Amino acid sequence: MRRIVIKVGSNVLTTDKGKLDITRVSSLVDQIAWLKEHRYEVILVSSGAVACGRQELKVEYALDSVEQRQLFSAIGQVKLVNLYYDLFREYGIHMGQVLTTKENFQPGDQYENQRQCMEVMIDNGVIPVVNENDTVSITELMFTDNDELSGLIARMMKAETLVLLSNIDGIYTGNPDDSDVEVIRSVKAGESLEQYIQSSKSSAGRGGMESKYHTARTVADAGIKVIIANGNTPDILINLATKPEETIHTEFVPKC
């Protein structure tokens, strides 16, 4: 059984106007259902709670950044997870929500409990849908973003592969807007790509290519294959599984 952690960023799940992109979520669920049918064990790390909540509610007075995160994630996470629930249900697939914080990754009972919880979900065919518990995360102790969270989950759950889906095809040899650049297809164990990494951030989520690169490097160094690919490309997950050579992405070869 191949265990795979799929991280989907807010930019993949929301439209340009910041609304939840139901068609996109539905297509991801279709692909995950396909993977499950083909005997993959899937853990989904999904962002989008804050972006979803922001769309739902017009606030009449100024909120500070912590209040915004708490309010919008509380509303948005419900909406997001309900959508996943309904869509997976169409396939007869059960999903369960796992909300976590950085403190839960310190060695100890909470870490072990969390791991155990996700193992029992997977053993029973349930897809864990993971996000940071933004309602209670303390700013200083937050994950840098869900890229970091997905890397910790992949290591904790001893996944074979971590797939980071964003709105870009992979890591480019320069500015993706220039015509003479290309996607770096394979990154050898231990190889550094620092010179190619742009520090600009995504608009909807907290991550960016810098954080994806750091997560990918660390996770591949821990012996897990990492793929950075474009979640907006139709059937990307199925294509990565069935015809990886023809599918544009960046792969970090795991350290043995």
**Candidates 45-53, 102-110, 120-128, 154-162; binding stretch for ligand GLU (CB under 6 A):** 45-53
The span from the CA of 206 to the CA of 139, in Å, is: 13
How many CB atoms within 10 Å of residue 245?
5
Q: How far is the CB of 46 from ligand GLU (least distance, A)?
A: 7
- 25 near ligand GLU, rule: CB under 6 A: no
The residue (of 15 and 173) whose beta carbon lies closer to ligand GLU is: 15
- 132 near ligand GLU, rule: CB under 6 A: yes
3-state class of 183 per DSSP? strand
Q: How far is the CB of 207 from ligand GLU (least distance, A)?
A: 5
User: Cα 70–71–76 angle (5° rounding)?
Assistant: 100
Nearest position to ligand GLU, beta carbon: 205
Sign for the pseudo-dihedral over CA of 161, 164, 165, 171: negative
Q: Among 128, 151, 170, 205, which residue sits at the site for ligand GLU (rule: CB under 6 A)? A: 205
> Does residue 41 contact residue 2 with C-beta atoms inside 8 Å?
yes
Cα-Cα-Cα-Cα torsion 26, 32, 35, 41, nearest 10 degrees, comes to -160
**Candidates 20-28, 42-50, 193-201, 239-247; binding stretch for ligand GLU (CB under 6 A):** 42-50
The residue (of 134 and 251) whose beta carbon lies closer to ligand GLU is: 134
Q: How far is the CB of 227 from ligand GLU (least distance, A)?
A: 17
> Does residue 24 contact residue 12 with C-beta atoms inside 8 Å?
yes
The residue (of 51 and 127) whose beta carbon lies closer to ligand GLU is: 51
* Phi, psi (deg, nearest 5) at residue 34: -60, -45
Structure tokens at 16: 């340009």
- 48 near ligand GLU, rule: CB under 6 A: yes
The span from the CA of 85 to the CA of 126, in Å, is: 11
Q: How far is the CB of 2 from ligand GLU (least distance, A)?
A: 25
- 11 near ligand GLU, rule: CB under 6 A: no
| Residue count of the chain | 256
Q: Among 14, 27, 31, 146, which residue sits at the site for ligand GLU (rule: CB under 6 A)? A: 146
Q: How far is the CB of 56 from ligand GLU (least distance, A)?
A: 13
Structure tokens at 114: 């969390």
Q: Which residues pair with 228 in a beta bridge?
A: 164, 250
- 10 near ligand GLU, rule: CB under 6 A: yes
The residue (of 151 and 247) whose beta carbon lies closer to ligand GLU is: 151
- 215 near ligand GLU, rule: CB under 6 A: no
Structure tokens at 199: 């520090």
Residues lying near ligand GLU in the complex (CB under 6 A) are found at 10, 47-51, 73, 131-132, 134, 145-146, 205-207
